[in-house]
Chain A
Amino acid sequence: MTPKQIVERASELRWKLPQDYHDRWVESIYAESARIASRNVDQQGKTHRLAWERRLDWLLTNRWTGMPIMVLMLALVLWLTIEGANLPSGWLATILLDIGHPFLKQLADYAHLPWWLSGVLVDGLYLTMAWVISVMLPPMAIFFPLFTILEDFGYLPRVAFNLDHLFQRVGAHGKQALTMSMGWGCNAAGIVATRVIDSPRERLIAIITNNFALCNGRWPTQILLATVFLGALAPPALTGLVAASAVLGVALLGVFLTFFSSWMLSRTVLKGETSTFTLELPPFRPPNFLRTLYTSLVDRTLIVLWRAIVFAAPAGVVLWSLSNIQIGGISLAQWMISILDGPGWLIGLNGVILVAYIVAIPANEIVIPTILMLTVMTTGVTGIGEQGAGVMFTARGDSELAMLLQAGGWTTLTAICLMLFSLCHNPCSTTIYTIWKETKSLQWTLVSTFMPIGFGIVICGAVALVWRIVGG
C-alpha cells in the first residue's frame, strides 16, 4: 500500500468508529494511570491536603477576606516597586546621566568628532538609552521577582479564581487579572504572560486590552503631571492627596477601559473565536526567594538593555536629528510642531506633546524629557536645559517645571488631557513587536495598536470640548 492509500484507508475506517472513541481512549488511559498509581502509592492517613492549606485557601478566596487580601497584596507590590526603585534609579541617573553624559561629551571633544556626530551619538543615542535604563531597570527588577514569588507560592491562580466572574461577564478569562497586573509593570511582559490563558479568544482579548494597564514607563508621567498641575490647585496640605487620587483615578479608568473594551471585543470582532476555560489551583509551595531574585534580576536586566539598544537608541538618533536638521532656518521638529498644533488643540493637547509622542513610540519613559526639550526649543525660555537642541533633560524642581510648561501655553486642561492621553495611546514599539510575535497576525497587531489611540482621541476630544464649553 502506498502512503497515500494508507491515509485514505484511515479516512474510510474512521466511519466505522464509535462517535465517542476519543473520549473512551482518554478514559482508558486514565483508568490505566489509576490502576498503576493505586498499585504503587501508599497513602497513610485520610486527608489529601494538609489542614493549613485548606484554611489558607479558604482565607484567600472567601467573600470577606479574599478581596481585601488581594488589594493589600497589589498595593504592597506597587509600593515596594515605586519606593524601592527610587534609590537605584537615582544611582543609575547619577552614573549614566550626570557623570556619564558630560564625560562622553568631553571624550567626543578630545577625539575632535564633528559636532553633528557627537550630537547624534552622545546627545541622541547614548542619552536616550541611558534615560530608558535608569527609569526602567530598577522598577522592572523589583516588580517581576515579586510577581514570580507570588506565582511560585500559588497565590496568583487564586486571584484569577476570585476575579473570574467579573471577567467572564465581559467575555474574558480570570487569568486576565494577572496579565493586566503584569501590564502595570510592563505591557510587553504582560502580553508575553497571556500565554497562561489557553483559550484563543480570551488570550487575544487580554493581548489587545493590555495597553490600558498603565505601565512603568507611564507612571512617572502621571505622577509628575498630577503633582505639578492638579496638586497645585489644592491647598498645600492636600496637594499629595489630590495628586495621588488623580493618578489612582487614571489607573482605575484604565481598568474600566480594559473591561469595557474586552466586552466590546468579545461581542464584536472576536465573537467567533474559540473559547474554553480551564484553571488549575495548584498546591501552595514555598517559593525559592534567592533563585527567583537572581533569575529575575539577570533576565530583566537583559531585556531592558536589549530594549534600550534595539528600540530606544534609534529613537534618540531620530529625536536629535529632528531638532537639528533645519529647513528654511527652522528645524524639522518645529515644522512638525506647527503642523500638529491644530489637531493637538482639538484634543486638549498641543503640537509639542504630539511630536513627543511620535518620537517616543519606542519608549514611553522619554515623553516628559522630550516635551521639556521641545518646549524650551519653541518658547526660547532661558535658564534651563541649555545644553543645546535635541538634548533631553529633566527639571530640577516642580516649580521650575510648572513655569516652563506654562510658558509653553499649558493649562490645567492640557495636563488632564495629557494624563488621559498617556493612558490611551498606541503601545510602545517593544509592545507592538511583542504583540506581533505572540499573535503572528498583522490584523490583531494593528487593532491592538490603533484601538487605544482611537479611545484616546475620543476621550481627550470630549474632555476638551466639555471643558471649553463649561469653562467658557
Chain B
Amino acid sequence: MTTPTHATTCETCAVSSGSRLERLGVKLGQVDFVVALAGNPNTGKSTVFNALTGLRQHTGNWPGKTIARAEGGFSYNSKKFKLVDLPGTYSLLSATEDEEVARNFILFGRPDVTVVVVDATRLERNLNLALQVLQITDKAIVCVNLIDEARAHGVTVDGRGLSRDLGVPVVLAAARQGEGIEQLLREIDDMANGRSTCRPHRLPVDIPTVRESVDELVKCLAEAYPNMPHREWVALRLLEGDSRIVQAVASGEIGSLQQDHVATGTISACGN
C-alpha cells in the first residue's frame, strides 16, 4: 500500500505552484482529467469548488442548493482538469434524485479523481458518506474542510491517521482562507496521473445471512464479469433490488466499468 500522506498543511514547500494554477473559465474544450466533488450539504463544498476553480459556479447557485451538477475547470502542471460539483447528499443509499445523480456520476461516469469534502467539526457524520463513496471508487481523496472552524471549537483532526484508516490521501483544508488548497491540487494531480495509488477502506458486510448471500453473488459476478470493480457493493445493491444497478448488471454495462481511465465523453451520458 502506497498511500501518500502529506496530511499537514504545506506552506513551506519549496516549489509554490500557485503560478502554475492557471485559472480557466468554464468553457473547457479538451480536458485531460475529470474530477468529481462529493460531500454532505453544509460542508462548504461550493467553497472548495470556488477555491479550486477560482471562479464562480457555472450554473447560478440559488440559495441552499447546488443545482444538479455545476461544472468548472482549472489547469495545474499544464494539465487541464474539469471539476464537477455533485449535489450535496447525506448518503448514497436512499435513491433520491440527488443521490442518484451523485452516485451514478461516480459509478458510471468514472471520474479520474473523486474528492469527498467532509466537515472537520462533524467528522463522524460526514465519514458516513465518505465510506460509501470509497465503496464505489478507488480514486478518491478526502478533503477535511473547515479545519479553521474545528480549531475554534477545540477540535484537532489527525490527517495522517485518518488517511491510514481510510486508505486514501487526506488533505486538511480551510477553503475559505485558501488553506490546504495547494496540497489538494497536488494530490489530485498525483492521483489523476497515476503517481499515487490507494487502497480504499472497504467496510465488510458482517450481518450473518447477508454475508453468505453477498459472497454467493460476488462469486457469480466474478465469473460473469472478471474485470468488474466493487463487486461486493454491486452484490449488495442487487440484493436491495436497486433498479438502476439491476439494469446495469442485466445489460452488461456494469462489466465495462473497469478501473482504467475512461474517456470523458462517457460522462455526459450519465447523471441527469
Q: Is A42 within 8 A of B238, CB to CB?
A: no
Chain A 35-74, CB within 8 Å of chain B: the 1/0 string? 0111111111101111000000000000000000000000
| Known pairs A10-B238, A21-B210, A41-B157; A3 contacts B250 (CB<8 A) | yes
Cβ of A22 within 8 Å of any chain B Cβ, yes or no, is yes
How far, in Å, is B250 (CB) from chain A's closest CB?
Answer: 5
Q: Is B155 within 8 A of A6, CB to CB?
A: no
Q: In chain B between 199 and 214, which residues have their CB closer than 8 angstroms to a CB of chain A?
A: 201, 203, 205-210, 213
Residues on B with C-beta less than 8 A from A11 are: 241
Chain A 5-23, CB within 8 Å of chain B: the 1/0 string? 1110111011011100110
How far, in Å, is A286 (CB) from chain B's closest CB?
Answer: 9
Residues on B with C-beta less than 8 A from A4 are: 250
Q: Is A13 within 8 A of B216, CB to CB?
A: yes
Q: Is A16 within 8 A of B56, CB to CB?
A: no
Chain A 246-287, CB within 8 Å of chain B: the 1/0 string? 000000000000000000000000000000000010110100
Complex Cα distance, B67 from A303, in Å, reads: 14
Residues on B with C-beta less than 8 A from A39 are: 158, 161, 165
Chain A 173-197, CB within 8 Å of chain B: the 1/0 string? 0000010001000000100110110
Residues on B with C-beta less than 8 A from A164 are: none
How far, in Å, is B59 (CB) from chain A's closest CB?
Answer: 9
Q: In chain B between 220 and 272, which residues have their CB closer than 8 angstroms to a CB of chain A?
A: 220-221, 223-224, 235-236, 238-241, 246, 249-252
Cβ of A288 within 8 Å of any chain B Cβ, yes or no, is yes
Cβ of B21 within 8 Å of any chain A Cβ, yes or no, is no
Q: In chain B between 48 and 85, which residues have their CB closer than 8 angstroms to a CB of chain A?
A: 50, 56-57, 60-65, 67
Q: Is A6 within 8 A of B249, CB to CB?
A: yes
How far, in Å, is B237 (CB) from chain A's closest CB?
Answer: 9
Q: Is A21 within 8 A of B207, CB to CB?
A: yes
Residues on B with C-beta less than 8 A from A382 are: none
Q: Is B239 within 8 A of A14, CB to CB?
A: yes
Select which of B91, B162, B210 is within 8 A of A18 by beta carbon: B210
How far, in Å, is B136 (CB) from chain A's closest CB?
Answer: 13
Complex Cα distance, B60 from A182, in Å, reads: 15
Residues on B with C-beta less than 8 A from A47 are: 153
Q: Is B64 within 8 A of A25, CB to CB?
A: no
Complex Cα distance, B47 from A119, in Å, reads: 48
Q: Which residue of A lies closest to B216 (CB)?
A: A13
Complex Cα distance, B206 from A394, in Å, reads: 74
Complex Cα distance, B242 from A11, in Å, reads: 11
Q: In chain A between 414 and 435, which residues have their CB closer than 8 angstroms to a CB of chain B?
A: none
Residues on A with C-beta less than 8 A from B188 are: none
Residues on B with C-beta less than 8 A from A3 are: 224, 249-252
Complex Cα distance, B214 from A10, in Å, reads: 9
* Stretch among A85-93, A292-300, A327-335, A464-472 lining the B interface: A292-300
Q: Is A18 within 8 A of B161, CB to CB?
A: no
Main secondary structure of the interface of B (DSSP, over half): helix
Complex Cα distance, B127 from A150, in Å, reads: 28
How far, in Å, is B100 (CB) from chain A's closest CB?
Answer: 13
Q: Is B127 within 8 A of A33, CB to CB?
A: yes
Q: Is B128 within 8 A of A44, CB to CB?
A: no
Residues on B with C-beta less than 8 A from A151 are: 63-64
Q: Is A298 within 8 A of B56, CB to CB?
A: yes
Cβ of A291 within 8 Å of any chain B Cβ, yes or no, is yes
Q: Which residue of B lies closest to A49 (CB)?
A: B153
Complex Cα distance, B44 from A283, in Å, reads: 12
Select which of A7, A40, A43, A192 is within 8 A of B62 by beta carbon: A192
Q: Which residue of A lies closest to B159 (CB)?
A: A40
Count residues of B near A (Cβ-Cβ below 8 Å). 68
Complex Cα distance, B162 from A48, in Å, reads: 21
Select which of B61, B159, B246 is within 8 A of A7 by beta carbon: B246
Q: Is A17 within 8 A of B213, CB to CB?
A: yes
How far, in Å, is B55 (CB) from chain A's closest CB?
Answer: 10
Cβ of A302 within 8 Å of any chain B Cβ, yes or no, is yes
Cβ of A98 within 8 Å of any chain B Cβ, yes or no, is no
Residues on B with C-beta less than 8 A from A49 are: 153
Complex Cα distance, B211 from A18, in Å, reads: 11
Q: Is B56 within 8 A of A291, CB to CB?
A: yes
Complex Cα distance, B131 from A34, in Å, reads: 11
Q: Is A193 within 8 A of B63, CB to CB?
A: yes
Q: Is A42 within 8 A of B62, CB to CB?
A: no
Residues on A with C-beta less than 8 A from B125 are: 33
Q: Is A156 within 8 A of B158, CB to CB?
A: no
Which residue among B130, B161, B223, B239 has the maximum number of chain A CB atoms within 10 Å of its CB? B239
Select which of A9, A42, A300 is within 8 A of B155 by beta carbon: A42
Cβ of A168 within 8 Å of any chain B Cβ, yes or no, is no
Q: Is A196 within 8 A of B65, CB to CB?
A: yes
Q: Is B239 within 8 A of A295, CB to CB?
A: no
Q: Is A28 within 8 A of B203, CB to CB?
A: yes
How far, in Å, is A292 (CB) from chain B's closest CB?
Answer: 10
Cβ of B196 within 8 Å of any chain A Cβ, yes or no, is no
Residues on A with C-beta less than 8 A from B193 are: none
Q: Is A36 within 8 A of B61, CB to CB?
A: no
Q: Is B57 within 8 A of A7, CB to CB?
A: no
Residues on A with C-beta less than 8 A from B249 are: 3, 6-7
Q: Is A17 within 8 A of B210, CB to CB?
A: yes
Cβ of A2 within 8 Å of any chain B Cβ, yes or no, is yes
| Known pairs A11-B241, A25-B205; A36 contacts B165 (CB<8 A) | yes
Q: In chain B between 34 and 49, which residues have their CB closer than 8 angstroms to a CB of chain A?
A: 41-42, 44, 47
Cβ of A24 within 8 Å of any chain B Cβ, yes or no, is yes
Residues on B with C-beta less than 8 A from A196 are: 64-65
How far, in Å, is A140 (CB) from chain B's closest CB?
Answer: 11
Cβ of A111 within 8 Å of any chain B Cβ, yes or no, is no
Complex Cα distance, B156 from A178, in Å, reads: 35
Q: Is A28 within 8 A of B206, CB to CB?
A: yes
Complex Cα distance, B26 from A99, in Å, reads: 35
Q: Is A41 within 8 A of B123, CB to CB?
A: yes
Cβ of A341 within 8 Å of any chain B Cβ, yes or no, is no
Cβ of B9 within 8 Å of any chain A Cβ, yes or no, is no
How far, in Å, is B54 (CB) from chain A's closest CB?
Answer: 11
Sample of 13 A–B contacts (CB below 8 Å): A3-B250, A14-B213, A17-B210, A18-B209, A18-B210, A39-B165, A40-B162, A144-B63, A150-B63, A196-B65, A291-B50, A294-B56, A302-B60
Top 4 A-B pairs, shortest CB-CB distance: A151-B63, A299-B60, A33-B127, A10-B238
